Structure formats: C-alpha cells, structure tokens
Amino acid sequence: MLAKRIVGAFAPEKIKLSRILIVDDQQAVLESMHALLRISGYQVEMASSGARALEFLKEGDFNLVLLDLRMPVVDGHSVLSAIGEQGIDVEVIVVSGETSFFAVKSAMRNGAYDFIRKPYEPEELLTTINNALEHYWQSRQRLVAEENLQRSESLHRFIVNNSPDFIYMLDAKGMFTYVNDKAEELLGYKRSELLATHFSRLIHPHNADDIYNFFAEQRSGTRSTTNTEIRLQVNQASRQVKCLDNFELLVELNAKGIYEVSEDGQRFFTGTLGCARDITARKRSEAQVSYQAYHDMLTSLPNRLLFNDRINQVFAHARRNRQKFALLFLDLDRFKEINDTLGHAMGDLVLQQASQRILDCLREEDTLCRFGGDEFALLLPDVETKQNVAAVAEKIIRAVRQPFHVKEHELFLSMSIGVAIYPKAGETTDSLLQSADIAMYHVKSNGKDGYCFYSDAMDGSDSTFLSVERDLYLALEKNQFEVFFQPKVDPTNHVIIGMEALLRWRHPEKGLIFPGDFIWIAEESKLIVPIGDWVLQTICKELVRWQRKGLPELKISVNISPVQLEQEDFVQNFIELLQRYGLRASIFELEVTEKGLLKGYSEMVKNLRQLREYGFSVAIDDFGRGYSSLSYLQNFPVNTLKIDRSFVREIQEESKESCVVNAIAMMAKGLNLHIVAEGVENLLQLDYLRNLGCCEVQGYLYGKALSASDTLAIFSERPAEGPHFILPN
C-alpha cells in the first residue's frame, strides 16, 4: 500500500478523517468500540476474525488497526506478521486480554505501536488512538521527506533538521562533520559543540568496544549496521533532555560507510552516515509491561510468576550449600468482612497497608509475594533454626494486629501464618506450598491470629482432613454452599406436604459434593457451627420468598448436628432468627441422627426440649442404625422416627414378613410417634410403607433433591391441590 502524501503539518481534522479497522472475535467488544469511535468522529470498519481483517486491509485504505491478539484460526500475531510481510501501510494498536509479557513484547517487536489491556478505559483508548494517528501521519511525513530528499538539496536540509532522529556524518577520522538539530533535543549538545569533535564524546562508557565500530561504520551495503541498540552519553548540564537513568540515551542505530572513487578508479572511505532513533519511550513501555507481568499492581509486590523464579533460585542455592529456607503462607483474618461491609476500595487500601507492614518486618534478601486476594507467600532464605522463623512470624503478627487507620475508619485485623521449612516439609515448590497452606489452615481452624509449623503429624489422613477443612473454610467465605429441597409426600394422595432441606457444596474443581463426604470433617473442626447458621438463615430467606409467591405453607425438615446442639446459644439464636423473619416454629422439624443423640445425651436433650416447648417438632434421622433402646426413646423429646434408607431398600417381594421396617413401625406405634421413610425408589416399597401406616415418604420415586429455583417450579407447574405426582400403575 502506498504511503499517503501530506503537504505541511497534519491537522486534527486529518486525524478524524483517518480510517480505523477494529479486529476482535467478540461481537460485544466490536460493537462497543465501534460506537465509541463513531461518536468521537472516526471512520470505522469492523472485522470479526483475523482472516477478514487481512481481506479488509488488502481491499481498503486504512490508517489504524485496533487488534485483538487472542482469536481462533488467524490470531493477532499472524495478522501483525502479515502486515509486516506484505508491507501494508498501517499503524497497529493491540487491544487484548492476552497479558503475558512475552505475547505483548512479541507484538511490539512485530510493529505494534502500543498495547492496551482489556477491559480498557475509553479515555485511555481514545488518547492512544489519537497518539497513534499522530505518529502515523508524522511517519508518513517523514517518508515523504525522505522521497523528496533525492530531489532537492534544500529540501534535504529541511527534512534532516526536522527529523525525529539524530542524524550525523563523520569523516574518515571519526570527527563530526554534520549533525542535525535533533542533537540538541536528544543529547543536550548544540551543533557547534559537536562539530569537529570525535564521536567518542557521545559513546557511553558501559558500551562494548564494538559499539565504536558500529557508530563509525565503514561497511556499506547489507553488512552495514542496521537496527542496533546502543547507549549514547548525554550532556549532564542540559535540563531539557529526557532520557533513562545515568544520563544515557537508548537509541536504535543505522549507519553505513560512505565511499568515493579516486581518479585512478580506486574506492576509498570518506566517512560514515548514521541515524540514531530514540527508543527511550519504547524501552520504558517494555519495562512497564515486564514489571506488570511480574508484579501485583495493587501492592507492587512480586506476583506468582516472579515468585516461581525467586523460589527456583532459593532452591538452587539451598541445595548447593545444603542450607534450609522457609516458605510462609500468610492470610489476613476477617478481611472478607471489610470487603463486604466497607467495599473493595477500602479493602484495597487495607491490603496496601498490610503488605507494607509485612515488608517492614523483613530482611533485604527476603521475598514477599501476593498470591491474590488477601493471601501472601513469603520466602526466607538461609534460615538456621525454627526460632529464627518463629521470630519473623511473631513480628509480622504483632505488626498486623496494630489498628489500621484507613480514611475515617479504625480497623482491627489479624493474620494466620503457615510455615514450611525445606527440606523437611517438602523438596519441591508445590509440596512446600501445600505444606505451608495446610499449616495455615490449621491456624485458621484453631482460632486464627497465629502461626504454625508444618509437621509430619499433618501427613496422610490428617493432611486430607486439613485440606478439606481448608476448602470448607473457603467455601463458607466464597458462598459455595447451596440448600437443596427434597419433597416429602403423602403416600395416599401423592401431595407434597413438606420438604427436607439438604446441604450441597458446589466445589469449583470437584463439582457438586454431597454432605456424606464432608460433614464429618465440618463437625470435627467445629466449622459445622457457622455452616449450620448459614443453612438456617438461607432456609428462612427461602421460606419468606415462598410465602410472597403464594405457596402453601409446608413443613421443612432441617438436619441439626450434635455439635450445633452443644452450643449454649444455639436455642436462643435459632428463636431470634425465626422472629427476625417472622416465621413460626411449628413449620420446622429438626432432624437429629440417632448416633448423634447417643453421644451427648444430657446437654442435647435439654436443648431439644427447649426447642420442642417453643413449637419445633423433632425427628430421629437414620433410625435403626444407632441401636437405641426403648428407654432412650421414651426420654427423648421426639415426634417422628425416620426409617433409614438401608432398611427401606430391604423391602422385597419375598422378604416382606421379616423386614426390619416392620419392627420399627411397631415400635413407633407403641410410642405414638409418626413414621417417615426415606429412600423410596419403587411402587413395591411405597405400597408396603403405606400399609404399615407411614405418613410421609421421600425418595427418587417422587424425585431427587432440587435447587431452590427448581423447587419453586414444581409448584408453579403443578396443581395447587394435588396430586403433585402421577405414578405408573
């Protein structure tokens, strides 16, 4: 594509008339960017793929391309390569979510003018577009000037002196015979100060010796210096020079030797013609991209990528010198409460203060990294004893305990720290991280605000226990739990008369997990108490929603752990919860396992009696598996026996008379208790239980447990009076 010809300086109107091509495979991004640019007065076309973009560029006349890197088939890198190979005259701004350092650096190396991260700020995008178009037209002006350089010596002088590059000529001895006006702006020297002086005046002392040969190039043709990066020394007395540190200017050098032919036909060297382009801005941009790739932008701490590099170095040093080092995993306690109550902006300020406090406790050789959220990792190389590490941990904990003064708020936090020491706690990055993580959650489960060293006692089953315990803690903080509801049905008319609320854990990696896989760990670690509180509150919210939808009042069965019943304030808290939501206790049936009752008889029976006196009904869940005696049942404040599914499964055509269910039913009738059966899966079981006087059943015959929204759908799709289920004959 031929370069556009411009007479005189470019104008804002010229930039607005520039044609822009947006390339992105996401239609929403295309449309939003298209609308923004059209409103701003630009002429815009859209391409939804890399292949379509190349067709546009071959057919049309565009000045600027806004290019996404991550696209199927023909990605942004391929489009950039094609633009360079085909010599398409267009400026390119990468607008992409692909943020890796190597991807961005590759794009810039392939000719991209600038890079903007997704999601972008509209003002930043418009400013960058304007700068790119200015650069585009300036570049085309320079091309025009270079074309005209061959036609007119006077025009040659004008263009060279107004070039954005430093242009110079040396004689055969390396003395400056010409420098353009850009020398003063870039290097701080007036032309008169450089002319007739040796070029070594500008060569930075840190450059290699061969840089001298590049700057005073004697080769010509393809062997001459091309796009070589060197450092030039600037005039330290000049204040107008903008360069990198140490008074050096990074330039991209192109130079070639100039030769003439003598009268006898001999070719002899007369000097060097060179052009040095300031690449300070590009280097700063690359440095910024590199910094962002390896650092957390909120706290300026190293991120996981840099952490991996640092720990690899520490591993190598420790193995070579047979030394120990410590990896600490740090987590702020109660940080989620700050985000939830005061907002994420306030939380960010707290994280910045906390990270600085931790840094103030460390040595220069220690490395603190932010892993995300309120989690940090700390590397302590070359530690001699556990006491040394403990001293650092205690110092950090004391620092974090101090009040945080953020705006008008005074906040109090603490920190839980897990410590893993190489090589005992692990000999790889992953094993050390896991050990430190397990130790940290051991602190969490024991009251927080402290530190713990990983030990062999945490291996095997204990390690699994702590790992699940850690995940349960996170699940509670990140709202991964859900309450499902399974219908409880009258077996005579197939009408839903109640629901059993069942806890489910939607694990981000393992999917939906049922209570049998984690409740025992929640009980052992006492996490069942806050989890149970969350379940009760969620059920109350859902019941209020059902009432507002006009649903009939249903009895809700709730599983209560013995650990919850052991809490002194459980009864009072539960009653206050119902009062807050305006719900009656009579719509709740509390299910407690038979084995659970037998473990803590006196305290739990006292609490159950208080709950029953308030209006709750009580059911023994999984009845028949705990070997209760009649005397126990008579003393328990129980309304219902719930037959375990394992006994319901035994109901078969050939074994009706000897079924255990018969004995349970007779016992319930003798004690004047209701009978509920779970795990009903076929009509034979249903008929048998109905004939025994079972008043409620639940199981896959009527349906599995459903989410709250699906439960609502049952009542909206089926008749209010029932039957709610139609079973085959």
How far apart CA 622 and CA 613 sit, in angstroms, is 24
Instruction: Tell the CATH topology of 481-717.
Output: TIM Barrel (3.20.20)
pLDDT digits (tens, 9 = 90+) for 81-96: 998 888 888 999 999 8
Instruction: Indicate whether 244 pLDDT > 50.
Output: no
Task: Parse the chain into domains and list their residue ranges.
Answer: 12-149, 163-286, 300-458, 481-717
Q: State residue 14's pLDDT score.
A: 67
Instruction: Indicate whether 13 pLDDT > 90.
Output: no
Q: How many CB atoms lie within 10 A of CB 254?
A: 19
Instruction: Indicate whether 474 pLDDT > 70.
Output: yes
- Mean predicted confidence (pLDDT) in 412-429: 90
Instruction: Indicate whether 4 pLDDT > 50.
Output: no
**Which CATH number describes the domain made up of 12-149?**
3.40.50.2300
- The dihedral through the CA atoms of 567, 573, 575, 581 has a sign that is negative
- Mean predicted confidence (pLDDT) in 189-208: 84
Task: Please state which of the ranges 1-15, 28-42, 64-78 shows the lowest mean pLDDT.
Answer: 1-15
Q: Which residue has the higher pLDDT, 698 or 183?
A: 698
% of the chain residues with pLDDT over 90: 30
Q: State residue 353's pLDDT score.
A: 94
176, amino acid identity:
F
Where does 675-717 have alpha helices with state H?
A: 683-691, 708-717
Q: State residue 457's pLDDT score.
A: 52
- Mean predicted confidence (pLDDT) in 329-338: 87
pLDDT digits (tens, 9 = 90+) for 439-471: 888 787 666 888 989 875 555 445 566 678 888
Element containing residue 184 per DSSP (H, E)? helix 182-187
Task: Please state which of the ranges 154-163, 205-214, 720-729 shows the lowest mean pLDDT.
Answer: 154-163
Give the rounded distance of the alpha carbon of 451 from its chain centre: 26
How far apart CA 65 and CA 68 sit, in angstroms, is 10
pLDDT digits (tens, 9 = 90+) for 681-690: 999 999 999 9
**Quick one: 163-286 is in which CATH superfamily?**
PAS domain (3.30.450.20)
For the chain, give me the number of helices (H) and strands (E)? 28, 26
147, amino acid identity:
E
Q: How many CB atoms lie within 10 A of CB 578?
A: 19
- Mean predicted confidence (pLDDT) in 71-80: 90
Mean pLDDT of the chain: 84
pLDDT digits (tens, 9 = 90+) for 662-684: 888 888 888 888 899 998 999 99
**Which CATH number describes the domain made up of 300-458?**
3.30.70.270
300-458 matches 12-149 in CATH topology: no
pLDDT digits (tens, 9 = 90+) for 287-309: 777 777 788 889 999 998 899 99
User: Using 50, 70 and 90 to split pLDDT, how confident is the model at 5?
Assistant: very low
Q: How many CB atoms lie within 10 A of CB 363?
A: 10
Where does 322-385 have alpha helices with state H?
A: 335-342, 344-359
